[in-house]
Amino acid sequence: MRILVLIAIGLLLYVIISNLLRKNRPATPPKSITEKMVKCEHCGLHILQQEAIQSEDHFYCSQEHLEAHRRSE
Ligand SMILES: [Zn+2]
pLDDT tens readout for residues 16-33:
999 898 877 766 666 555
Q: How far is the CA of 31 from the centre of ligand 1 (A)?
A: 24
Break the chain into its structural domains and give their ranges.
2-72
Q: How far is the CA of 38 from the centre of ligand 1 (A)?
A: 11
Give pLDDT, residue 41.
95
- Torsion angle (degrees, nearest 10) of CA 45, 49, 53, 58: 70
Strands (E), 1-73: 37-39, 46-48, 53-55, 58-60
What residues have their beta carbon closer than 5 A to ion ligand 1? 40, 42-43, 45, 61, 65
Which letter does DSSP use for residue 25 in this model?
Answer: S
Q: How far is the CA of 30 from the centre of ligand 1 (A)?
A: 26
pLDDT tens readout for residues 48-68:
998 999 998 999 999 999 999
